[in-house]
Amino acid sequence: MSAPKTATAIEKRAAAPNREALAPFALHKLKETLPLVLSCDPNLPPSPKPHYRSVYRYQGLDDLNEETIQTFSPFEIGVRLFDYSSLEPRLAAHVYQASAKGQVPFHPVSMYLLSLNRRERRLSRHEVLRILRHPADGQTLRHCTGFEDDFPSESGLRYFEGQLTPALQQEINALQLDALYQAGLLPSQPETGDKTKATLSFDGMLHHARSRLRCSSVKAGCYEPAPRLCPAQEKGKQGCECNEEECADICRHATPRDPEARFIVYTGNNKRARTSPNTPLETRKEHSRVSRMVYGYYSYAGQLLDVKLATYWTLPAAFGSATCGDPALFPDNLAYLQRRFPWLKVGEVLADAGACEQTCLDAIWNAGALRMVDICAHKADDDPDTRLTRGYDQNGHPLCPFGYVLHPNGYDHRRRRAKWRCAKRCQQGPERPVPQCDYLMTKHKHGYTTTVGRTHADGSVRLAREIAYGTPAWKERFGRRNCAESRNSILERLGLKRMPVHGLAPCHVTVLQGDFVANQNTLVRLIREATALR
């Protein structure tokens, strides 16, 4: 017999238990809280430009109804859901300077929305400007962005996008989430007294650099003036002597427009890795495990899971070269999220084995959250004598002094200790003779017992977990990562599998914009479903 079909996310949201969670997204209810306003920092100075050649105004909700919500594009709906007026001083401070020279610039919000539209529709600057100028095709885009009879040039749009910094775009993404939180659309609800804590899931994505690979061994030293050591020759490869004139400033085999890009071999499996799946593999014969080779960057983002709605909201992502492992990005990113979102009370953190390092596990512990991190193996796990000596097996389950695996007996949230007991298991199976153990006496009801806190008894945190790894309780909690597995495919559909820009900072901004668009599209999708159900 065939296995029962798994319900899709749309079917889960339409089911009776989850309809109540979807109800606040219905258009007639949402209009009570619209527009979603991006908060303004009162300490920001006013824009250095008193006049603009375009005029951004919030679109309003007059033409947003049950019919148009299904026909408008996500971008057209987004400009009616969000009021971006407060971004003017923030954007102007990064892009414009107080000067009377040159032409009057365009409104910074108009330019920013044009850039978002380009990212959502995967258009080049030339294509989006051609549409903007077209009398018929560009009418809607002009109405949404505030352009009238004067339009920016391609170089002007390139300059504007080049002035956007990762810190600025991170803050814009954070303001988007703040607005959703204040409207009560996130799993964490404001001013309700609800003690339910949030579930975060972290995952990374590799991005090919726009520059083509010239040398797989390129490092930071390749961008220093000659003479320099060649990392390729140190590995026994041909490399470059860098004794020619064209190698004077940087090695001619480097990529000067993507100096932070690095080369890795990705296997798609980090269960046996000590750090990240993006760490370069050592030379080995197991070429069949090699999935693909990537020269570029690595984005690492947390997702705020909404299990009832079978969806997620992407939090501002960290970014680095392709060889940056999760331990290099995760702790700082988690600290930033806690600092930036005081309303985000983290209850548990889900991550793959790339985050199974002490720096990551300690960061989760210090945040007061459950460490739902997949395990990474070590060669010591294969030795039964080593396992018995340290007191736990390859899954982090404690062992009794005679080598029997203990049973999980619950978790004490106040003391933050996982309890384990043997339940006199040695008497239940005939595979080994019953040992002479004092804990088999009647006065020891549960037999041998122990607890696991931040670390195991030997001080190791690698396999220390609050919820026993591999148990049904673990699988139920860890399986919620499925709600957040689509970020990579969404960014790929937005054209961000291979970066369309050069340089680490511009690439980071572009990925953050992709996440911004993805969150907006998630909101539009939930509104459409809730409105259709009504």
> pLDDT tens, 462-486?
999 999 999 999 999 999 998 888 9
Which pLDDT belongs to residue 482?
85
Q: State the residue for tokens 């002479």.
A: 436
Report, in angstroms and rounded to the nearest whole number, the Rg of the chain calculated over CA atoms.
27
User: CA-CA distance, 381 to 395, in Å (whole number)?
Assistant: 9
Q: What is the sign, positive or negative, of the torsion defined by CA atoms of 126, 132, 134, 138?
A: positive
Please write the tens of the pLDDT for every residue from 20-49.
889 899 999 998 889 999 988 888 988 888
User: CA-CA distance, 374 to 350, in Å (whole number)?
Assistant: 8
Mapping DSSP onto H, E and C, the string for 6-30 reads: CCCHHHHHHCHHHHHHHHHHCHHHH
Helices (H), 122-214: 125-133, 139-145, 154-162, 166-182
Residue 382 belongs to some domain of the structure: no
Please write the tens of the pLDDT for every residue from 417-439.
999 998 888 887 766 777 888 88
Tell me the mean pLDDT in the region 404-408. Answer: 92
Domain shared by 407 and 525, yes or no: no
User: CA-CA distance, 85 to 108, in Å (whole number)?
Assistant: 10
Residue 130 belongs to some domain of the structure: yes
The last residue of one of the domains, among 464, 487, 514, is 464
Residue 189 belongs to some domain of the structure: no
The last residue of one of the domains, among 440, 464, 488, is 464
Domain shared by 313 and 204, yes or no: yes
Domain shared by 199 and 146, yes or no: no
Q: Is 262 helix (H, G, I), strand (E, B) or coil?
A: strand
Domain shared by 87 and 37, yes or no: yes
Which pLDDT belongs to residue 271?
60
Residue range(s) defining the domain that contains residue 289 = 194-213+258-375+466-502
- Other beta carbons less than 10 A from residue 161's beta carbon: 21
Instruction: Give Cβ neighbours of residue 277 (< 8 Å, ≥ 6 apart).
Output: 266, 267, 268, 269, 270, 352, 353, 354
Please write the tens of the pLDDT for every residue from 266-324.
876 666 544 433 444 443 444 445 578 999 999 999 999 999 899 999 999 999 999 99
- The H or E element containing residue 56 is none
The last residue of one of the domains, among 237, 254, 271, is 254
Q: How confident is the model at residue 220 (pLDDT cuts 50, 70, 90)?
A: very high
Mapping DSSP onto H, E and C, the string for 205-234 reads: EEEECCCCCCCCCCCHHHHCCCCCCCHHHH
Residue type, 208: H
Q: What separation in angstroms does the CA of 402 have from each of 389, 392, 393, 435, 455? A: 10, 11, 13, 7, 21
Q: Is 199 helix (H, G, I), strand (E, B) or coil?
A: strand
Domain shared by 56 and 86, yes or no: yes
Residue 397 belongs to some domain of the structure: yes
Which pLDDT belongs to residue 75?
96
Percentage of residues in the chain with pLDDT exceeding 90?
71
Domain shared by 245 and 228, yes or no: yes
Q: What separation in angstroms does the CA of 134 have from each of 85, 130, 138? A: 26, 6, 5
User: CA-CA distance, 172 to 373, in Å (whole number)?
Assistant: 29
Q: State the residue for tokens 């306003």.
A: 37
Which pLDDT belongs to residue 3?
56
Percentage of residues in the chain with pLDDT exceeding 70?
93
Residue 118 belongs to some domain of the structure: yes
User: CA-CA distance, 355 to 352, in Å (whole number)?
Assistant: 6
Domain shared by 487 and 525, yes or no: no
Residue 172 belongs to some domain of the structure: yes
Residue 231 preceded by cis peptide, ω within 30: no
Contact at 8 Å (CB) between 501 and 510? yes
| Statement: the pTM of the whole predicted model exceeds 0.85 | yes
Domain shared by 470 and 324, yes or no: yes
Contact at 8 Å (CB) between 424 and 447? yes
Q: How confident is the model at residue 445 (pLDDT cuts 50, 70, 90)?
A: confident
**Closest by alpha carbon to 352, among 514, 482, 468?**
482
Which pLDDT belongs to residue 279?
42
- Other beta carbons less than 10 A from residue 1's beta carbon: 3
Domain shared by 25 and 59, yes or no: yes
Q: State the residue for tokens 């996982």.
A: 418
- Residues making up the chain, counted from first to last: 534
CA 127 to chain centre: 29
Average pLDDT over the chain, rounded to an integer? 89
The tokens describing 516, both together, are 């911004």
- DSSP codes, 308-365: TTTEEEEPPPEEEETT--HHHHHHHHHHHHHHH-TT--EEEEEE-GGG-SHHHHHHHH
The tokens describing 97, both together, are 């300077």
Q: State the residue for tokens 């340089």.
A: 503
Domain count, the chain: 4
Which pLDDT belongs to residue 193?
53
Q: How confident is the model at residue 4 (pLDDT cuts 50, 70, 90)?
A: low
Domain shared by 368 and 404, yes or no: no
Instruction: Give Cβ neighbours of residue 284 (< 8 Å, ≥ 6 apart).
Output: none
Write the Ramachandran bin of 117: left for phi over 0, alpha for psi from -120 to 50, otherwise beta: alpha
412 strand-pairing partners: 417
Q: Indicate the pairing of strand 346-351 with strand 370-373.
A: parallel
Residue 46 belongs to some domain of the structure: yes
pLDDT at position 206 over 70:
yes
User: CA-CA distance, 208 to 437, in Å (whole number)?
Assistant: 59
Tell me the mean pLDDT in the region 356-375. Answer: 95
Which pLDDT belongs to residue 425?
80
Instruction: Give Cβ neighbours of residue 44 (< 8 Å, ≥ 6 apart).
Output: 89, 90, 93
Tell me the mean pLDDT in the region 134-162. Answer: 94
Residue 415 belongs to some domain of the structure: yes
Of 159-163, 217-221, 315-319, 479-483, the least confident: 479-483
Domain shared by 347 and 489, yes or no: yes
User: CA-CA distance, 204 to 209, in Å (whole number)?
Assistant: 16
Tell me the mean pLDDT in the region 94-123. Answer: 91
Domain shared by 153 and 233, yes or no: no
The tokens describing 531, both together, are 């409105």
Please write the tens of the pLDDT for every residue from 322-348.
999 899 999 999 999 999 999 999 999
